[in-house]
């Protein structure tokens, strides 16, 4: 029992002061020495323990180990490390009892075996230490509980305040977006084509409150109509601001009586010169419908091909290649001339028409668009069918891009 007590005490001290003895090589050595004492008691013949020399050697070894612990705990007590003083007291008592027994066995003093009392003192001191630690733990837990309650109250107040601030900010943002939406809608033309030999049906469905598509339709002179469609890069507020900038630039040249290709060149040069630092780039299509001569003049700047449907025939694409506006100041654009007949239909649209995806990431596609626009039903019905089928195709996720469609029919 005496030998088992020593490694047990060492392990116990190590568990109480883990950080202090974690890298202590001497402490590890004395632990293994204490284990050696245990094994000697377990495996050596019992008669050895009747030999005074052997017993004295073991007890002197124990005394040395306890002395090392004595100085370590004394130093820790001076440093006021929690629990060190109680352990130091119990160790002093054990040192006294072990020293007493060594002297008693060697008949230096007339006494009795005191180690059991030392063990009792050790147990009682550790009970005091553990009780003290548990008591402090409970007090700390209560203090932390009170602090947590205060923090919860403060946190609830902060959450309420932040929620109110967030709701107020969202309210202001919604108000700003609502106003921006109304302003953007006001920039779109209101058509009055009574008595004209053409009908134009515009459809504008931004992905969010405001979008990055913009169009303008006006009569340049009697029987001569100009259509301008823009698809700015991006979505939402940023793209909407770009369209307002583009509109402002277009307003200064919209009534210039030049071919569509020349108008696009003027617009591109102005954007490259004024907005080079902010990289304004966008695709556009410009078309002049000359009903006096039954001709369509058409030019594109990086825009997808538009669709022309001859009366009672299938639809086909109108191709006109040209670079996106804003990339190169000296860019040139080609002009396409197409004869028009009564019953001809021209469909102008942004790339959001066919670059929409369903929930399985399948694209609506150009072929599907061309198939729908080839139908011989009324032009409004055809346009609304295209929008409706597109909405069904994308499903509840909604559009991933702004959608603009201008359906034109010559009478």
Phi/psi for 202 (5° steps) reads: -90, 145
Q: Which of 164-168, 171-175, 295-299 has the highest mean pLDDT?
A: 295-299
Report pLDDT for 371.
Answer: 93
For the chain, what's the residue count? 411
**Domains assigned to the chain:** 2-143 (no CATH), 188-410 (3.60.40.10)
* Tens of pLDDT, residues 56-94: 666 666 677 777 777 877 888 888 887 778 878 877 887
Q: Are 352 and 394 contacting, i.e. CB atoms less than 8 angstroms apart?
A: no
Q: Measure Cα distances from 284 to 10, 223, 242 in Å.
A: 85, 23, 13
Lowest mean pLDDT, pick from 48-52, 96-100, 111-115, 226-230: 48-52
Paired with 318 in beta bridges are 306
Helix (H, G, I), strand (E, B) or coil at 231: strand
Q: Are 206 and 182 contacting, i.e. CB atoms less than 8 angstroms apart?
A: no
Report the pLDDT averaged over residues 111-116. Answer: 81
Distance CA 5, CA 172 (A): 75
Q: Which of 52-56, 148-152, 232-236, 240-244 has the highest mean pLDDT?
A: 240-244
Better pLDDT: 136 or 302:
302
Confidence of residue 26 (pLDDT cuts 50, 70, 90): confident
* Tens of pLDDT, residues 354-397: 888 888 889 999 999 999 999 999 999 999 999 999 999 999 88
Q: Average per-residue pLDDT in the chain?
A: 84
Report pLDDT for 229.
Answer: 96
Report the pLDDT averaged over residues 197-223. Answer: 91
Report pLDDT for 52.
Answer: 57
Report pLDDT for 304.
Answer: 92
Confidence of residue 53 (pLDDT cuts 50, 70, 90): low
Q: Is the confidence at residue 160, as pLDDT, over 90? A: no
Confidence of residue 46 (pLDDT cuts 50, 70, 90): low
Q: Which long-range contacts (CB under 8 A, 24 or more apart) does 91-99 make?
A: 91/66, 91/122, 93/117, 93/118, 93/121, 93/122, 93/125, 94/9, 94/66, 94/118, 94/119, 94/121, 94/122, 95/63, 95/66, 95/67, 95/70, 97/121, 98/59, 98/62, 98/63, 98/66, 99/63
Report pLDDT for 99.
Answer: 80
Lowest mean pLDDT, pick from 201-215, 259-273, 291-305: 201-215
For residue 269, give the nearest of 227, 323, 348, 225 by alpha carbon: 323
Q: Is the confidence at residue 211, as pLDDT, over 70? A: yes
Lowest mean pLDDT, pick from 66-75, 126-135, 229-238: 126-135
Percentage of the chain beyond pLDDT 90 is 37
Report pLDDT for 288.
Answer: 98
Better pLDDT: 111 or 368:
368
220 sits in the region (left: phi over 0; alpha: psi -120 to 50; else beta) called alpha
Contacts of 323 (CB under 8 A, 6+ apart): 301, 302, 331, 333
């Amino acid at each position: 029992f005496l030998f088992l007590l020593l490694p047990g005490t060492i392990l116990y001290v190590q568990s109480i002061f883990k950080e202090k003895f974690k890298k202590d090589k001497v402490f590890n050595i004395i632990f293994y020495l204490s284990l050696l004492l245990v094994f000697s008691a377990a495996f050596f013949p019992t008669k050895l323990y009747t030999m005074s020399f052997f017993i004295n050697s073991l007890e002197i070894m124990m005394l040395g180990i306890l002395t090392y612990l004595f100085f370590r705990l004394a130093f820790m007590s001076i440093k006021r490390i929690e629990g060190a003083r109680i352990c130091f007291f119990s160790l002093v008592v054990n040192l006294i009892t072990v020293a007493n027994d060594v002297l008693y066995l060697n008949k230096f003093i007339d006494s009795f075996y005191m180690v059991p009392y030392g063990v009792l003192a050790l147990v009682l001191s550790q009970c005091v230490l553990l009780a003290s630690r548990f008591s402090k733990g409970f007090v700390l837990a209560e203090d932390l509980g009170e602090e947590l309650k205060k923090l919860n109250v403060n946190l609830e107040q902060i959450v309420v305040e932040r929620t109110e601030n967030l709701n107020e900010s969202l309210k202001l943002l919604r108000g700003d977006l609502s106003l921006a939406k109304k302003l953007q809608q006001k920039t779109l033309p209101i058509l009055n084509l009574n008595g004209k030999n053409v009908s134009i049906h515009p459809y504008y469905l931004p992905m969010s409150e405001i979008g990055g598509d913009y169009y303008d339709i006006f009569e340049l002179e009697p029987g001569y109509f100009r259509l301008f469609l823009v698809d700015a890069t991006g979505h939402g507020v940023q793209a909407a601001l770009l369209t307002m900038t583009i509109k402002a630039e277009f307003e200064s040249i919209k009534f210039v009586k030049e071919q569509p290709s020349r108008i696009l060149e003027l617009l591109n040069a102005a954007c490259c010169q004024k907005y080079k630092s902010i990289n304004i780039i966008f695709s556009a299509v410009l078309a002049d419908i000359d009903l006096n001569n039954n001709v369509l003049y058409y030019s594109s700047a990086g825009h997808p091909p538009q669709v022309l449907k001859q009366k009672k025939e299938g639809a086909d694409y109108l191709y006109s290649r040209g670079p996106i506006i804003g990339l190169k100041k000296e860019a040139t654009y080609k002009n396409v001339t197409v004869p028009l007949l009564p019953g001809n239909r021209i469909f102008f649209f942004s790339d959001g028409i066919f670059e929409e995806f369903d929930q399985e990431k399948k694209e609506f596609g150009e072929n599907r668009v061309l198939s729908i626009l080839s139908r011989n039903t009324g032009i409004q019905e055809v346009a609304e069918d295209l929008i409706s089928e597109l909405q069904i195709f994308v499903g509840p996720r909604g559009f991933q891009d702004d959608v603009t469609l201008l359906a034109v029919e010559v009478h």
